[in-house]
Structure 1
Amino acid sequence: MSEWFEESFGEDYLIVYKHRDRHGAYEEVQQMISWLHLPVGAKVLDLCCGMGRHSNVLADCGYHVTGVDLSKVLLREAEAQDARQRVRWVRSDMRSLPLDGGYDAVVNLFTSFGYFESDDENSRVLHEIKRMLVPGAPFIIDFLNPSYVARNLAPYTEHVEEGLRIDQYRKIEAGYVKKEIVITDAQESVRRYEERVKLYALDAFRSMLSQAGLSVEQVHGNYDESPYEEDASPRMIFIGRG
């Protein structure tokens, strides 16, 4: 059987998440640059780069960027946005990267973590981040805040995009936040997808990072640089060094 992420990040994903634009990525990258303190020309790995919004903006800012993702569809979209072919695009599972390392920074953004059922499999991703980094180089991991999700989860939303009705059902179950996406076309044909992320609270995540040899220097609650607050912060953004 295929893993959920092998099925979900396809053509329909581009429609469901069409609202994620490059303008927002510019603002987020500017904040990340202030956290990373990297000189222009530094090597940056965008792990789970998706449609390449942040990879392309990082390249705009003068960095040598490698974008890694497992989805052929999302990488195709990323490459289409990279008209000047500045980014190196690599298709790979994040648990075992076909790269030698030597990066001045690694970023893993918008909850591209916790995709696997076992803690060991998720920890392998952190060990790969450590392996990719020049010793002492910085990383950013942008994860959801489980407490905030539990308080603010919308069980159901719907909208129409490109003539498709998109129903989204969300719940927390057995230590995961789960989303079912149901897409119905004009002929009433239905397509279903699952998204599932394992929930890690702050202390558990810190422990996993430490075991992987990654030290945490700051934890922000959002891209406005606000400090992390368990009850109020929508994100858990870890900034540290390998």
Structure 2
Amino acid sequence: MSNWLHLKKGDKVLDLCCGMGRHSMALEELGYQVTGVDLSETLLNEARKMDTSSRIQWVRGDMRRIPDIGTYDAVVNLFTSFGYFEDDEENLLVIKEISHHLKPKGKFIIDFLNADYVTNNLVSYSERIDGHVTIREERQIHDFFVTKKITILEPNQQSRTYREQVKLYGLSDFERMISLANLTIDNVYGHYSGHIYTKNESPRMIISGHKLA
């Protein structure tokens, strides 16, 4: 995916909703100057532990109101880290913040689920084992949101439950929001391999584009 940005070594990249920093560190290894932003201080602390060389700037911030950390050659928002808010205007604010933190003609990637594919192929329950940990995931669609309940089971410990939801935005919704943020779409991919997006068959909807001058 980094090839889609057409960056050169030393360019500045903002990883918005970086979580524990896996993608941020991969981008840094490619030679970019990386800043990771996330709302969760817990996840940022985990990222800092893994960033043993302290080459990445880790910043706590709300994706709707990113701190004043300058402008970037590229902003990436990966692995369905968008659409958390019930109000469309709140989600639009996120895209406007992406635009605000891009240099003129700066590049962006928004890696989102394909709402049509998810609706038609929803897996309501799955379970996997990671070492001694069992992870159960229950999914449902309600009021234009896909919701997921995650239960983590570990031996001799109380179970932990988390819930998350994202709004099922389609391509036309993104086209509208992106145009309102002084951005334009260059390509829409349906898979990390680079296959072109198709509405009914692609598991992902990965939008790449740039900021207008």
**TM-score interval w.r.t. the shorter chain?**
over 0.9
* Cα offset, 1:74, TM superposition: 1.3
Which residue matches 1:98?
Answer: 67
* Cα offset, 1:189, TM superposition: 3.3
TM-score, L = length of structure 2: 0.94
Instruction: Give the Cα–Cα distance (whole angstroms) in 1 for the partners of residues 13 and 97 of structure 2.
Output: 14
Which residue matches 1:215?
Answer: 184
- Please give the root-mean-square deviation of Cα atoms over the aligned residues, in Å: 1.4
Which residue matches 1:127?
Answer: 96
TM-score, L = length of structure 1: 0.83
Matched letter for residue 151 of structure 2: V
- How many corresponding residue pairs? 211
1:39 aligns with 2:15: no
List structure 1 segments (4+ residues) > 6 angstroms apart after TM superposition: none
Which segments of 5 or more consecutive residues in structure 1 lack a partner in the other structure?
1-30
Which segments of 5 or more consecutive residues in structure 2 lack a partner in the other structure?
none
CA contact (8 A) 1:178 1:194 kept: yes
Which residue matches 2:107?
Answer: 138
CA contact (8 A) 1:101 1:134 kept: no
Which residue matches 2:81?
Answer: 112
Which residue matches 1:147?
Answer: 116
Instruction: Give the Cα–Cα distance (whole angstroms) in 1 for the partners of residues 172 and 91 of structure 2.
Output: 15
Instruction: Give the Cα–Cα distance (whole angstroms) in 1 for the partners of residues 133 and 54 of structure 2.
Output: 33
Counterparts in 2 of 1:35-74, with a 5 A limit?
Answer: 35-74=4-43
Identity %: 51
Structure with the larger helix share: 1
1:84 aligns with 2:70: no
Instruction: Give the Cα–Cα distance (whole angstroms) in 2 for the partners of residues 56 and 186 of structure 1.
Output: 31
